Chains A and B, each alone.
Chain A
Amino acid sequence: MHPALSIIVFTSLSGTGLGLGFWTALTAHAAPPLLIAIAGLLAAMLTSIGLVSSLLHLRHPSRAWRAFSQWRSSWLSREGILAPLCVISMVLLGPGAFTTAPLGSIPVVLVLLLAPAVILTTAMIYAQLRAVPAWRTWLTPVMFLLFGASSGLHVLMTATVWYHGDLHPIPLILGAGTDTAANREGPLLTAIIINTMAWGTMAAWWLRRDRIGTGQSTLATATRLASGHRITQLDPPHTEKNYLQTEMGYHIARKHALSLRWIALVLGFLVPTLAAGSLLILPTTMAPPVLTVLSVVHGTGIMVSRWLFFAEATHVQSLYYHSG
């Protein structure tokens, strides 16, 4: 597939925004209201930038509204309906944090439900496509969800240390205690574990992609000629490049795939893991700059992997264009 920049930016940024919204809602019971408000607005902003950039790759953005009516059959349509609802809920996290319990917790519950749902609808656009066997796996939605969760948590940790100097306003599972050091370990270890799971899923996805090729579809099923005999295509169907070849058969993008995978792993996994690990022992004053660099480097790693996600996907129709 042609890796359109707008789609890479969209899936990465909105994934980060939705993950940030999710973690903000999850820690809303403990975090100071102002931090929740800032994080909620930042989450809404990142998600909105992603949504707007996804409109940029349309030749007729004015027709985008038509997609909303197709929610019964289209994941893109479902995403288009749920995403704005989630953005509104994330904006309301702040006002909710300044309001007392039953009313104030409504946006929290909405974000906890909607944020993963929106990431899932985005991933299902790709995971449901039978014609792209590399995408059609449960690894695709799991990978999207874990990347959203890890990058969102990194941004929330960064916002928290800039706001508060330490991480204890956002207690997470591993650091529920009152001790400051333990509270710092909680979010950091959660981030390392989730990011490791994310890249583990990505690595499994890459290995599966290399193994599966065009899946069950072969030149024999594509032409239905001579079952049991070897079919060789001598000439391409036509001499001029067509839309399908420029859009679906993106060979240049795959040329540097292996080195890009290593770059993605170093930027997205190795550097963030080392940085988060070092913060367990480094003084608190180091946390803001280290976490800022971590978030940016991690985000870049995700974008490289997302670029490969599109560039390495092979549509079965490319079987018709493999001459020789």
Chain B
Amino acid sequence: MCLGLPLWRPGNVPSAGVMKKCTLCVDRIYNENIPEEDRVPACVRSCPTNARFFGDLADPDSEVSRLVSDRDGVDLMPEQRTRPANKYLQPGRQSSCGDPEAFNLAELADPTPTGILGWIDRNLSRV
């Protein structure tokens, strides 16, 4: 699993008197009765900004392994040497967005009209 938000945190369930931690929705990821795109942890499936990814980090060819190598995925507190199964992708280096020059926000705010509106715009600009 690689993600943009902290996930691992043991939780005490006072009523049961036991420690529990995230199972990565084991009941979903192997469930063949639900559509394949839903076979991921609920937090990954429902994340509104798609900040979380789920996959097999042990497989170097998996999509999450590729994301980790492309976007410099790191461990938190590496000095603790816990070899966590969660990787955190570095912000602001999103290769999937491609060339930043190709996407200009200023142009969106001031669009170039085409067609009849474009013809009117061009002629009025000359006046």
Contact = CB atoms under 8 A, between A and B. Distances in A.
Interface of A: 59-60, 130-131, 215-217, 221-224, 237, 242-244, 247, 316, 320
Contacts of A59: 17-18
Interface of B: 6, 9-12, 17-18, 74-81, 88, 90
Contacts of A244: 9-10
Q: A interface, by DSSP: helix, strand, loop or mixed?
A: loop
B80 A217 contact: yes
Contacts, number: 36
Contacts of B79: 215-217, 221
Contact of B80 (A60, A131, A223, A237): A131
A243 B80 contact: no
Contacts of B18: 59-60
B61 to A, nearest CB: 25
Contacts of B11: 242-243
Contacts of B80: 130-131, 217, 316
27 contacts: A59-B17, A59-B18, A130-B80, A131-B80, A215-B79, A217-B77, A217-B79, A217-B80, A221-B76, A221-B77, A221-B78, A221-B79, A223-B76, A224-B74, A224-B76, A224-B88, A237-B6, A242-B9, A242-B11, A243-B10, A243-B11, A243-B12, A244-B9, A244-B10, A316-B77, A316-B80, A320-B6
Contacts of B78: 221
A130 B82 CA distance: 9
Contacts of A243: 10-12
Contacts of B12: 243, 247
A216 B18 CA distance: 31
A316 to B, nearest CB: 6
A222 B10 CA distance: 17
A131 B8 CA distance: 15
